[in-house]
Structure 1
Amino acid sequence: MKSSYWKPRQFLILGILVLLFLFLVDLNQRLVQLNRLTQKRDQIQAEVTALQQTIEALGTQKAYATSEAAVEAYARNQANMVKPGENPIILVPLRTAPESAGSNPTPTPSPVPPWEVWWALFFGR
């Protein structure tokens, strides 16, 4: 009987180990891709939810803008219109007294030349 260093059974076990390693590497790659795609899905779902809320808010604004209440609010507040039979009241602001001439305005500081700033930093004033 010849003694061989490698027996067929050892080749079979080595082949199974190599295949198992390859399957584990592929599984790891698939799990990483699954994690990345799940994060992307969650991000897109959040964006879709925000956009749906925006659509609902715009729909509410559109419904108000086309209502009679919006037309009346615009006519009264911005167009200064009144209904027939109403008497408009126009408020006239009171004239305020002009500022007294005796008040002293705050003096504006005069700009200091840069060389004087450096002189003060190095030698003091």
Structure 2
Amino acid sequence: LNAILLLLAVALSALAFFTIVEVPVLTLTVHGFVPAFFVGAMTLYFAVKFRSGLAAGMVAAGLLVIMMMVFNSMNVPAAQRYFIYFNPYDMPRQLDPETWNLWMWQNRIGVVLAGGLLLFAALRGMEERERLLR
């Protein structure tokens, strides 16, 4: 599923490159894939914990809306570093570009690690829950 998501991100990035704006395709793919991977892993984790895909979708959507409201209310650039909706193309004027680049990579690596941990926890929970598959 993540491979399909990555291929879709590459295709949409290429489409955006040729139609809307000239942004490098691979960087746009990374910036689009990382939050989508985290959201997918979080939803899978909740689906395993709640044993319901509908409940998992509602809880994940609620958490994403709450995260968006909380982090949009903070106008501190340092707090944006840990934001799932981090926009690497919206650099504050008072910040050094190298610092912004470092924050961007810290954000992307942190979100991928958090998504990986959620995916690992979901797969471990699925292993414990589905004893019939052994």
Per the normalisation by structure 2, the TM-score is 0.26
> RCO (CA 8 Å, sep 6+): is it higher in 1 or 2?
2
Tell me which structure has the larger Cα radius of gyration: 1
Per the normalisation by structure 1, the TM-score is 0.28
Which structure has more helix as a fraction of its residues? 2
